[in-house]
Amino acid sequence: AAQQKSKLKVYAGPEHPHPANQPKTFEFNQVAQ
């Protein structure tokens, strides 16, 4: 699970391949916190 969180953090950062996924990653970030 920790590895997945790390990947999500990378996506939440400035390096996101899909801009449409930005809001999704943001939601995940809130859950992680």
Domain range for residue 14?
2-32
pLDDT at res. 11? 56
pLDDT at res. 20? 55
What is the chain's Cα-based Rg?
9
Tens-digit pLDDT profile for residues 1-33: 566 666 666 555 565 565 555 556 556 666 655
* Contact between 13 and 5 (Cβ < 8 Å): no
pLDDT at res. 19? 57
pLDDT at res. 27? 63
Structural domain count, the chain? 1
